[in-house]
Amino acid sequence: MTDYVKIFDTTLRDGEQAPGFSMTGGQKLQVAKALEGLGVDIMEAGFAAASPGDFEAIHTIATEIKDSVVCSLARCNEGDIRASGEAIKPATQKGRGGRIHTFIATSPLHREFKLKMSKDEIVRRAVAGVELCRQYTDDVEFSAEDAIRTERDYLKRIVEAAIKAGASTINIPDTVGYTTPEEIQDLFVFLTTQVEGADGVTFSAHCHDDLGLAVANSLAAVRGGARQVECALNGIGERAGNCATEEVVMALRTRTDFYDLDTRIKTQGFYGASKLLATLTGNAVPRNKAIVGKNAFAHESGIHQHGVLANRETYEIMKPEHVGVSTDNLVLGKHSGRAALKDRASKLGFTLGDNQLKSLFVQFKDLADSKKEVFDADIEALILGEAIGTQGPWALKSLYVSAGSDDNRAPQATVTLTHENGSDKQAVSEAAGPVNAVFLAISQITGHPLHLESFAVQSVSEGKDAMAEASVRVSTEFETYQGRGASTDTVLAGAKAYLDVINRIERRAVREKSISAQH
């Protein structure tokens, strides 16, 4: 049993497959590099057999990532396992870690209604699956899907069979978020002490948050003997989500006096990684989210403020800088140089490449010219705007809107977009409001009539020239998309957010066409 807890991050698999959180292959690689920067032990990069796009993303990540084990999920069948084996091959060929995570359901409900298999047949499938995985890698993880609702004697039997077949990690998932801390701790004590071969494998917990207990259950599993926790940034995942990576890690780090265990995570990167994921998926982090929410280190109550001013430990059990929240109040301005911008970005948890810094610095100077002081939130918005790839095929060239209270004149928007092929297109639209007029004009130019489900805008910095961040959620006949944009002009921020959605749709269509042509 290890003297630390391994972090198995499934943001790119369980998290990304949740409705509204899908990412392109390039975006998944950005998150993978952020996870590598955090020092996660294993990252589950996808489900190779799910789609050609998933296969390509895993293969690319396995090629690029050097410091974390790259894993692919597979059902216990030949097609899935061979796809996973091929997808992680770049990692295994170069001597880096490559894992296949294979699973089969074991609970009575799943056996009867989903698999329609006997207990014996499921054990045979599990053993055959693990043995086939071993042809591709020595690092094989076996999961008994819906393990929490599986009879203990049968769970013990199939786990022992998987260990004998060569699995080195055994995952006990609470697939439907049903268990309680006391129950799961007792189960892990049973498995780690009563299963033959338990001392030679790592036991893992994968908890869902349907009852709001994912983090608590994962920590209880650790107390019961689990030495790997499966989790996702911001707690994203199927239904109510997964155990949140940042929460379980900081709980272990903050309460080492209680758990006597820690992880190897570089926690200073949490804030930047969280913001990156939120921007790429278009799903904002709730203000009251533990560890990485805007209110996590904010104090409004007079009593709390007085205590914090006297000694931060009166109301803070963690230091903001431990998770990447900057406490440096130095304000940048138009005379600040590239080195100062790069340093501030680093303190905010972002590592900028030379090309990204060059592009960002131009935007920073433009912003600094339009406002006297540039705050951390402004810099974050610029960095994340760069990260989302508000890049093409469409870019906003000009925007003009008119609005007012005159009943005889409807709000009007004149929008000009530039396409990556070099052409400019313009549309003039009227609607009940200026933002609606802008969205309508963009739809007319791009040919995407979208249904707007929600539009929100908030100030992300201070002053009369504060930066505004807009988010939109739109739907087509088959899919829902999220988009975000930032500007000192709220209408312009909304236009960027809407255009972000259009670009997501078009990039996805191009990617799927390319993948189909390859196969």
Residue 288 located in a structural domain: no
At 454, list the tokens.
């929600």
* Residue whose tokens read 């200026």: 434
User: What's residue 305's pLDDT?
Assistant: 40
How many Cβ atoms are within 10 Å of 69's Cβ, its own excluded? 21
Q: What is the pLDDT of residue 109?
A: 94
pLDDT at position 464 is 63
Which of 388, 408, 428 is a domain's end point?
388
User: Strands 394-402, 228-231: parallel, antiparallel or unpaired by DSSP?
Assistant: unpaired
Residues 6+ apart with CB under 8 A from 145: 103, 104, 105, 106, 107, 110, 173, 175
> CA–CA separation, 334 vs 369, rounded Å?
6
Compute the distance between CA of residue 419 and CA of residue 440 in angstroms, rounded to an integer: 18
Place of tokens 């993978």: 32
Q: Write the CA distances from 474 to 238, 458, 492, 494, 497, integer angstroms.
A: 20, 18, 18, 13, 11
**Separation CA 455–CA 21 (nearest Å):** 17
- Contact (CB, 8 A) for 72 and 100: yes
CA distances 364 to 76, 78, 178, 325, Å, are 51, 52, 48, 20
SS3 404: coil
Distance CA 475, CA 477 (A): 7
- pLDDT tens by residue, 280-306: 887 888 889 999 987 877 644 444 444
CA distance 106 to 429: 57
Three-class DSSP category at 145: strand
Three-state secondary structure call for residue 102: strand
Residue 153 maps to a domain: yes
CB atoms within 10 A of CB 477: 5
At 301 the pLDDT is 42
Among 412, 446, 417, smallest CA distance to 429 is for 412
Residue 300 burial by CB count (10 A; 0-12/13-18/19+): exposed, middle or buried? exposed
| Residue 287 belongs to some domain of the structure | no
- CATH number, domain of 488, equals 3.30.160.270
Contact present, 227 and 1 (Cβ < 8 Å):
yes
Of 417, 486, 480, give the one whose Cα is nearest residue 452.
Answer: 480
Q: CA-CA distances (angstroms) from residue 435 to 391, 417, 506, 517?
A: 22, 16, 22, 39
Do 341 and 314 fall within a single domain? no
Largest Cα–Cα distance of the chain, in whole Å? Answer: 81
> Which pTM does this prediction carry?
0.79
380 and 402 both lie in a single domain? no
Structure tokens at 418: 């530039």
- 163 and 130 in one domain? yes
Which domain-ending residue is among 388, 406, 424?
Answer: 388
22 and 166 belong to one structural domain: yes
**Whole-number pLDDT of residue 130:** 98
Question: CB of 269 within 8 A of CB of 468?
Answer: no
Tokens (6 digits) for 250: 């900081």
How many other C-beta atoms are found inside a 10 Å radius of the C-beta of residue 113? 10
Which pLDDT belongs to residue 309?
Answer: 46
Q: Quick one: 311 and 371 in the same domain? A: no
Alpha carbon distance 16, 47 (integer Å): 10
19 and 166 within one domain: yes
Let me know whether 142 and 201 are in one domain. yes
- Structural domain contains residue 1: no
**What is the rounded average pLDDT for all residues in the chain?**
88
Question: Residue 390 has what pLDDT?
Answer: 47
**Residue of 293, 272, 227 lying closest to 8 (CA atoms):** 227
Q: Residue 371 has what pLDDT?
A: 67
> Among 451, 471, 480, 456, which residue's Cα sits nearest to residue 283?
471
**Same domain assignment for residues 314 and 374:** no
- Residues 166, 214: one domain? yes
Same domain, 306 and 430: no
Total structural domains in the chain? 4
Residue 457 lies in a domain: yes
In a domain, 286, yes or no: no
| Average pLDDT of adjacent 10-residue blocks, the chain of 519 residues | 91 91 88 96 97 94 96 98 97 86 97 94 98 97 97 98 98 97 98 98 98 98 98 96 98 96 96 89 87 73 45 68 72 78 77 81 80 73 61 86 82 94 94 93 93 85 72 82 83 91 82 61
pLDDT tens-digit readout, 373-403: 777 777 877 777 655 444 568 989 999 999 8
Helices (H) and strands (E) in the chain, counts: 18, 14
Distance CA 203, CA 190 (A): 12
Range of the domain at 504: 394-518
Structural contact between residues 148 and 187, judged by C-beta atoms closer than 8 angstroms = yes
Query: For residue 511, what pLDDT is reported?
Result: 65
Task: Indicate whether 222 belongs to any domain.
Answer: yes
- Domain boundary pick from 340, 358, 388: 388
Q: Is residue 216 part of a domain?
A: yes
Question: Domain check: are 173 and 205 in the same one?
Answer: yes
List, in sequence order, every beta strand (DSSP E) within 128-201: 139-145, 169-174
Does 334 lie in the same domain as 320?
no
